[in-house]
Structure 1
Amino acid sequence: MDLQELIGNFGRNQPIAAQAIGLIGLVAIGWIANVVASRWMLSAMRRFASMSSNHWDDALVRAHFFQRLANLAPILVIYFGVHAVGAHETVELVVQRVALATSTILFVVVISAFLNAVNEIYTAVADDGHRPIKGYIGFLRLLLYSVAVIIALSILMDRSPWIFLSGLGAVSAVLLIIFKDTLLSLVASIQITSSHLLQVGDWVEMPDFKADGDVIDIALHTVKIQNWDKTITTVPTYAFITSPFKNWRGMSESNSRRIKRSLFVDVTSVRFLENNEIERFAGFGLLRKYFTEKQRELTVHNSEPGRDLGKNADIRRLTNVGTLRAYMLAYLETHPKIRKDRTLIVRQLSPSPEGLPLEIYCFTNDIVWANHEGIQSDIFDHFLAIAPEFGIRIYQRPSGGDLAALRPS
């Protein structure tokens, strides 16, 4: 009796054992197929990607596309091989349905990996002002998984997928509650992308979430912000539509950063300039043009009929605070780190209990935070030191040492 006849007799005499052995052998063949696909073929694709000059194959490897594709091999072996082992029709039908449903889910997993690679390639080739597509990919992935689950259930239960889809209408209210955040995030992603409100790399401030830093990731449901202390704040995507936030991208694109700070002058030190002070200040290079124009203007004004030159109330005179303001403006106009094509003013604000504010409003040509702060500090160091030259005292709230100096000795 040859081996083929022996196997045939065993199958007729022990049908259940024969089917069990056949199914175990089929599973073993599927395992071998998985080993071959995941190890040998996957290693070959990785070597090919490393030698290739293209970037798309490297992105597919990093997204585990080929690894997930290899997972389909054992399922396909079982699906097509279950008929060859001579299994019972019911067993064969169940195994094929389970294999087909599993392959449907795995196929969507493969597509999901491919979409991850597409997003990586898009992010790499797009310029700094690209519009992120990760939110759209996330929504498409969710849609594909939902369809795959419906198809898998219809295969397992041997029902048309339209039966499950028709039943969605009855539970639409429940689905809207379950997927509320997803729907809100989808709408927000469309508005953010179409309006170009946000992109990776933007510096944003969001007080409601105590977020202040750079955007490092924009997904369907969340936006990740790395704060300046290197902590990560996760903000719902739809919050950028419903909550106020500040985007500093315009500062980076304009290559300028604003200085808006005041010196507080002690109002008791404000006075008119004496003639000797006018002569001395007129010799300053930064004030020469100012004094020439100002004295001409004052001469014309004070020569009008009815002006009594001996009374300050009837004439206009130069003041030390006005001269200091002119000096500060001239100093900024000649400063190499100040943008001349942006707003540049030195203005006087309303007096307050802290004194008379002289506000500097200008823009530096360096947007790096540390460099900008250094430029700003150097400017105010100079203004604080030069103010006494004009007879100006900078206001400072009395401290313990000041009050102790008033104590009788």
Structure 2
Amino acid sequence: MRQTWRWFGPKDLVSIDDMRQAGVEGVVSALHHVPTGSVWTPEEIAERQRVVGSMTDGAPSGLAWEVVESLPVSEDIKKQKGDWRAHIAAWKESLTNLSRAGIEVICYNFMPVLDWTRTDLAYRLPSGATCMRFDVVDFAAFDIHILDRPGAAESFPDFVVEEAARRFAEMDDDRRRQLAGNIVFGLPGAAESFTLDDVRAHLAEFDAISGESLRTHLVDFLSEVAPLAQELGVRICCHPDDPPFPLLGLPRIMSTEADYRRVMEAVDLPASGITLCTGSLGARHDNDLPGMMKRLGSRVHFLHLRNVHLETPHFGGSFYEAGHLEGGTDMVAMIDAILAEERARKAAGRVDWQIPMRPDHGQDILDDLKRKAQPGYPAIGRLKGLAELRGIMTALDHPVVHGAGK
């Protein structure tokens, strides 16, 4: 696996110098300042490459921008309304420009409205570390009583609805605003501009779009962009829903192995593949992550390795982001499956035999608690996760271990 690190650009409080000291091999980034639906120009791409290539004192970093996360797919494309055709044309032009700049892996997602959802961005653990958390009761309180979405109560079990009413009644105005802000934070651009009325308007746009319709729109999108990716020699890869179950009445179409299989079979080109995120997919009890890697591994183009602790036994329940080796996913089995896929690719002569991986998210520990970087993306917490994953990789790929298994 190629060890990479997500970087949000010059405003990121975790610097190029920090990731260089962490020993990563490549950088995952995106042009977040470019409006969704617009073209990523060669000049903007080159500027990001230049910044990635330099440390604070101007010395070469030895790092390069290797993976895009994400080249955003507009809501118009997902709905097939408004400027969706122009946005697909812009996406294809951006893809071409990235390819000409030497970037070969492009991650995207097809989640409507919400890119990801958490109710707490700094949940305190007994150790004193903080992490992101999804509390289904808090979310129900937001959905039913703050957002006041029609029919929201029907989306949750009766016991969750009852507890949500009690919890909402105990919240003061500051807590209600904080909860709404945490949830809306998962909307693109939400940190600066989204209101509850904005959320309601976006949800209304998807009222008539079923899961099957949204899947058809994804297949239509891939039918346009995947042949170009194949021609350019780049690999595009869809990130799963986060979390992988329905929220706010919105359709979810990339939450299970069956979901991925349907889309991969509909547009059956090697260039169109999977961002396998063990954290997102691991928030369902029924997802077998090592098994998915074994069965769909040939189409896995990018890896997010993280772990979650499921707090409730029912579908769509609460979870928090655990240490990389501490949640419900067997990370040793997962990495073993990844290394097996890489060996198979190398034996087959695939040029993409090495799969880029990044330690996804991390708990805020030590000086992270003072730095307060992007939620989920601390320096030390991710370094701890990377070190743990690196140790497993090194051990499983060592001749003593690998040879003994032959």
Structure showing greater relative contact order (alpha-carbon pairs closer than 8 Å, 6 or more residues apart):
2
Q: TM-score, normalised by structure 2?
A: 0.18
Tell me the TM-score normalised to structure 1 length.
0.18
Structure number with the higher helix fraction is 1
